[in-house]
Amino acid sequence: MANLEPLSRGELPELEPLLQMVESVMGFVPNSMLTMARWPELLNSFAGLAAVVSGPGEVEGGLKHLVSLMASRAAGCRYCQAHTSAGAIGAGVPERKVTELWNFETSEVFSEAERAALRLARDAAQVPNLSGPGHFEELGRYFDSRQVVELVAQISLFGFLNRWNDTLATRLEAEPAEVASRVLGRSGWEAGKHSR
């Protein structure tokens, strides 16, 4: 049970254009956004930030999805793990990369550049933050400063979402739950569980 129930779309006629845009991209409207809609200015601002951070940039989109998934996995947010795994697969990331994400250090499906980004995501998403200068030295071998900013922005965006959804116990929608159960379930993931 959610700690704060999302509003229904019928209660949000003024936000329908934004909700339609989100639905066209994701295939559904996330309950997290329908809860944010209780403060429409927050939802509008968040949607703008998310569109810039997660939208096209200099970092390949599939890697952004994997970074978001790693940050959510490290933070323990099952809701965001489901969303980011579904998003990664929807963006063309091979299922094997999603399934083997937590073993990125040793799995041959990841490049050294991906490992550097995923290492930062894993360590920066923990509390306390475990990132340090060594992460950025390694990132500098594969990414320019603009790309590093994009990676940190992606991790930070999901830091907000991880706290938001875990705190509110946001109800997971059927679409990402199905993908996560099928793909992440191979490594012990279950909807509704809050442990790593």
CATH C-level class of 17-187: mainly alpha
* Contact residues for 170 (Cβ-Cβ < 8 A; gap 6+): 2, 6, 31, 32, 35, 79, 164
For the entire predicted model, the pTM comes to 0.92
Which tokens in the block code for residue 70? Answer: 């790693």
Q: How far apart are CA 142 and CA 82, in angstroms?
A: 28
Which residue positions in the chain have pLDDT lower than 50? 194-196
3-class state of residue 152 by DSSP:
helix
pLDDT recorded at residue 185: 75
The residue among 94, 23, 30, 105 whose CA lies nearest residue 63 is 94
CA distances from 166 to 41, 139, 176, 178, 186 (A): 21, 29, 16, 19, 22
Which tokens in the block code for residue 86? Answer: 């579904």
Q: How far apart are CA 71 and CA 123, in angstroms?
A: 8
Q: How far apart are CA 5 and CA 168, in angstroms?
A: 9
Q: How far apart are CA 51 and CA 7, in angstroms?
A: 22
pLDDT recorded at residue 102: 92
